[in-house]
A and B are shown apart, each in its own frame.
Chain A
């Protein structure tokens, strides 16, 4: 609370009557959204310092990717932000396509935009559910999971998986969408705005909610940019930076949508941004379904990447599985030497992939710029001078997922 922040400035550490004490929040704390550990140094209930510890989920995705072909790495991206894996698949695919110089067919672009916005809805719904639960609004949790379930069922319909989708492939998407899927998604989008209104009636005028969120975890626009925050967390501070608008990819240039921005940069503004974004996502999905063109769903000039083992069929002479894959990894036909950095707007923020290629079918170096990692790095700045209970609200409002942070 602001009053406490000013109190803190008046008492320096030397003047304090007693030693500040340290408590460890996490890594098994339910409100840290995963295995995040925060060492909090406290004066009473006011936070003097906050030291996040991450890395409990480190799996070495970047090292693994250096030893696998581009198509083989795609399923690993599901395990980054596992609550909106479709968005990661798309982000990875557009990065590899940029490196290869592949132009994706228009239908595939529209389908990808649809699934990306669906992923944004699933991500934001889970965020709202857990954020509200952390602050103490139990009912919202159940309401959000009801809609999220519908979306996950639709994911299952198009690719057979609910969470680890691996739906896109380099050069398009793996399977075409069915009419039934489009119909059920369209009817979902018709109802969804009323569902958002339902969530808002539960919390938007709730005095406890407002007290817990307004004026908490304030970050100015300048600091937010300097900290590297992206996505709704940045836009809550009033900076209009959205990769979909700044560096449009897939079908985003063809659809009409707005980027909601906040003004104060507190937890409440970030919450409002995400709620407005859900409306925008809903409208993007509707536009894409209405304008979905006919045509192929995969680029013809990336045959071996679309079906990773198609080449192996051709090489009959040494048609063992492993040698086929090795041949593919040594493929020097399609790749050029050089490096590219491509980012996409995922629910959490800007997910970027940096590739260094030496001309083989294996990335020489892949670096993942994960928004959650940067957001957790900003927590010490956001938490300083706040109360312990506000830390929960702040973690919720920056929206982190540890699978993506630790990679």
Chain B
């Protein structure tokens, strides 16, 4: 089925949900409000005329200052048996930065959604294990937001500072200095003396 035809069918069934339909280079996206997103995606997954069984990609986009609604969660769907595709874009406003999880439809959405949460701070409700994934726990901010500076704001991650402290402490023991200066005490001897 043609992508545009699928988009029209979605609009027919959910006229209140569909905000607009856009097309770029033959690829059709349907822009939706987020409220009934799981219902719509489940319908696209289960309906025999669509059979979108392959969630090719899920990611977030930040339209800071560009669009009225700041975030979008993008679902790229593909049907392996019927060989057609569609892109669903769900709008997520900044003041209510959460959307229903689709892990119940595609198991593979789990890590996609964790990544989106990690890098954009969009919360996925009813997600089985919503933690940071690419960045360490305790990281401040969400790097792919447009207001996050490229250099990270000049602040180090707290874990990094810990590692540097540790390295500084260890560097006072010159374990390998013995090869340059045989009279110099090695770290091992120093430690033994302390015992």
Q: Which residues of A approach B to under 8 Å, CB–CB?
A: 54-55, 58, 60, 62-64, 67, 98-99, 101, 223, 225-229, 239, 241, 246, 336-341, 343, 350, 352, 354, 356, 358, 364-365, 367, 369, 373-374, 376-378, 381, 406-407
Check A226–B136 contact: CB distance below 8 A: no
Check B107–A381 contact: CB distance below 8 A: yes
With a CB–CB cut-off of 8 A, which chain B residues contact A352?
A: 56-57, 76
With a CB–CB cut-off of 8 A, which chain A residues contact B143?
A: 60, 63
Q: Which residue of A lies closest to B136 (CB)?
A: A55
**A102: shortest Cβ distance to chain B, in Å?**
11
Neighbour of B108 across the interface among A228, A339, A364, CB < 8 A = A228
Q: Which residues of B approach A to under 8 Å, CB–CB?
A: 22-25, 27, 29, 53-57, 59, 61-62, 66, 74, 76, 78, 80, 83, 87, 106-112, 115, 119, 133-136, 143-144, 150
Interface centre among B74, B108, B110 (most CB of A within 10 A): B108
| Complex-state Cα separation, A64 to B150, whole angstroms | 8
Q: Which residue of B lies closest to A341 (CB)?
A: B76
**A201: shortest Cβ distance to chain B, in Å?**
35
Name 18 A/B residue pairs within 8 A (Cβ), A-sorted.
A55-B133, A58-B134, A101-B25, A225-B54, A226-B108, A227-B106, A227-B107, A228-B56, A239-B80, A338-B22, A339-B24, A341-B56, A354-B57, A365-B61, A365-B144, A369-B57, A374-B111, A377-B108
Known: A228-B108, A239-B80. 18 other contacts (CB 8 A): A54-B134, A55-B134, A55-B135, A67-B150, A225-B54, A228-B106, A241-B54, A241-B80, A246-B83, A338-B23, A339-B74, A341-B27, A350-B56, A369-B59, A377-B108, A378-B107, A378-B108, A407-B134
Neighbour of B56 across the interface among A60, A338, A369, A377, CB < 8 A = A369
**A360: shortest Cβ distance to chain B, in Å?**
12
With a CB–CB cut-off of 8 A, which chain B residues contact A373?
A: 111, 115
Check B25–A356 contact: CB distance below 8 A: no
Neighbour of B144 across the interface among A63, A225, A239, A246, CB < 8 A = A63
Check B108–A227 contact: CB distance below 8 A: yes
| Complex-state Cα separation, A350 to B85, whole angstroms | 15
Neighbour of A228 across the interface among B25, B27, B55, CB < 8 A = B55
Interface centre among B25, B27, B119 (most CB of A within 10 A): B25
| Complex-state Cα separation, A226 to B42, whole angstroms | 13
Given A54-B134, A377-B111, A226-B53 contact (CB < 8 Å): yes
| Complex-state Cα separation, A67 to B148, whole angstroms | 12
Check B108–A63 contact: CB distance below 8 A: no
Q: Which residue of B lies closest to A373 (CB)?
A: B111
Check B87–A343 contact: CB distance below 8 A: no
Check A62–B144 contact: CB distance below 8 A: yes
With a CB–CB cut-off of 8 A, which chain B residues contact A55?
A: 133-136
**B78: shortest Cβ distance to chain A, in Å?**
8
| Complex-state Cα separation, A189 to B3, whole angstroms | 40
| Complex-state Cα separation, A67 to B74, whole angstroms | 21
Q: Which residue of A lies closest to B80 (CB)?
A: A241
Q: Which residue of A lies closest to B150 (CB)?
A: A67
Q: Which residue of A lies closest to B119 (CB)?
A: A62
With a CB–CB cut-off of 8 A, which chain A residues contact B110?
A: 377
Q: Which residue of A lies closest to B110 (CB)?
A: A377
**B161: shortest Cβ distance to chain A, in Å?**
18
With a CB–CB cut-off of 8 A, which chain B residues contact A407?
A: 134
Counting from the closest, the 7 A-B pairs by CB-CB distance are A228-B108, A338-B24, A377-B111, A367-B59, A55-B134, A369-B57, A58-B134
| Complex-state Cα separation, A338 to B27, whole angstroms | 10
With a CB–CB cut-off of 8 A, which chain B residues contact A239?
A: 80
**B115: shortest Cβ distance to chain A, in Å?**
8
With a CB–CB cut-off of 8 A, which chain A residues contact B119?
A: 62
With a CB–CB cut-off of 8 A, which chain B residues contact A98?
A: 25
Given A54-B133, A341-B57, A374-B108 contact (CB < 8 Å): yes
**B13: shortest Cβ distance to chain A, in Å?**
23
With a CB–CB cut-off of 8 A, which chain B residues contact A381?
A: 107
Check B135–A58 contact: CB distance below 8 A: yes
Check A339–B54 contact: CB distance below 8 A: no
Q: Which residue of B lies closest to A355 (CB)?
A: B24
| Complex-state Cα separation, A352 to B23, whole angstroms | 19
| Complex-state Cα separation, A246 to B55, whole angstroms | 15
**A97: shortest Cβ distance to chain B, in Å?**
10
**A259: shortest Cβ distance to chain B, in Å?**
12
